[in-house]
Amino acid sequence: MDYNPNDQDQIRRAYLQKGPCQPRDHNFPQKAFGQKLRRFNQSWFSEFPNWFLLRQGLAFHGHDEYEKSSSQGNFLELLKFLADYNEDVKAVALSNAPQNLKLTAPDIQKDIVSVAVFETINVICRELNDALFSLLIDEARDISIKQMVVVIHIDKIGQLIERFIGIEHVANTIALSLKQAMENLFSRLGLSISRLWSQGYDGASNMQCELNGLKTLILRKNPCAYYVHCFAHQLQLALIVVAKNHDQIALLFTLVTNVVNVVRASCKHRDILRDKQAAKVVEELNMGELSSGQGFKSGNQSQTYW
C-alpha cells in the first residue's frame, strides 16, 4: 500500500508469481497482547512443514514490520491453530466476529458510501476523458445549509449523456461563491474549464447577470462556454404564468399549499388527515367504489388499491 495506486496491482501480481514460501530468515517482531509479548514462532515451519505463507501476504519494508496476509486459506488455517491453543481467540475470532460482521455501524456504512461515490466519479471522469462537456448548476437548500448541485452533459457522437458529479456546500449563493465552488470541484476531479463549451442555469440574477453573474465570470475565462437558459426552468416559469392566469388552477395550488402548511405545522393535524383518509378509503371499499388487492387491471393500466 506504500506504492503508487497505479502500480499496486502489478506489484501484487509479481508477489503471486513468486508462489508460496516460508520466510524463515525474517525477524518477526514481538507485539504486546495483553500483558505478554507474542510473535510468530518460526519453529512452526519445521513442526508443520505443510504450512506456508503467500509472498504477497508478507509486505517487507526493510525493517521489523510486516503485514499479515488476508488470504482466506492461509489466514484461516493459522487462526484455527491459534484458536485451538487460546480460548480468547476462539471465543472472539471464531464465535463473536462472524456474528458481528453485519456492516451496520454508521462509520462503516459511511465509508462504503464514500468509496462508492469515489469510484463512480472516477468512472465518469474517465468516460469524459478529454472531451468537451456542458455544465448545469442549480441551487438547492435543505433544512440547515445551502448547497450547489452540479451536473455535466457529455456529447458523444451526437448522443447526449447526463452525469451528476456532485453537491457542493456554499456559504452563500452569490456568483463569486458559486464560481469558487465550481473551480474547487473541477480541481479535485481533474476537469478543465477550457473544455467547457456550454453552461445552463436558471434565470436568477446571480446566474445570468451580464455584469457579474456566474455565466459572465465563466465566459471571461472561456469565451466558448455559451450560456443557455435552462429549458426546465423556462417550462416552470411558463407553468407558473399559466397557473396565475387560470382561476381554477390558481385556486387548486393555493388550496394545496394551505393544506400542506396546516398539516406540516402539527403532528395532530397530520394524524387527523390520515385518519380521515383511511376512513374514506374504507367507506369507498364497502360501497364498492374501490377494489382492494394487487394486480387489479383497469383498461391497459395495472393498479393497486390498499
Say which amino acid occupies 200. Answer: G
pTM (2 decimals)?
A: 0.49
pLDDT digits (tens, 9 = 90+) for 121-153: 888 888 887 888 888 888 777 665 667 778 888
pLDDT tens sequence across 154-171: 777 677 788 888 888 887
CA–CA distance, 52 with 286 (Å, rounded to integer): 74
Q: Are β-strands 293-298 and 301-305 bridged in parallel, bridged antiparallel, or unpaired?
A: antiparallel
47-91 pLDDT, tens digit each: 766 655 543 344 333 333 334 333 444 566 666 767 776 777 777
Is residue 30 within 8 Å of 39, Cβ to Cβ?
Answer: yes
Phi, psi (rounded to 5 degrees) for 172: -150, 175
Backbone angles phi, psi at 68, to 5 degrees: -75, 150
CB atoms within 10 A of CB 205: 11
Residue 61 grid cell? 519494508
pLDDT at 299 over 60: no
Residue 279 pLDDT: 92
Please, what are the domains in the chain?
5-100 (no CATH), 113-230 (3.30.420.40), 246-305 (no CATH)
Mean pLDDT within 175-197: 88
Q: Which of 143, 199, 190, 139 is nearest to 169 (CA)?
A: 139
Average pLDDT over residues 236-260: 85
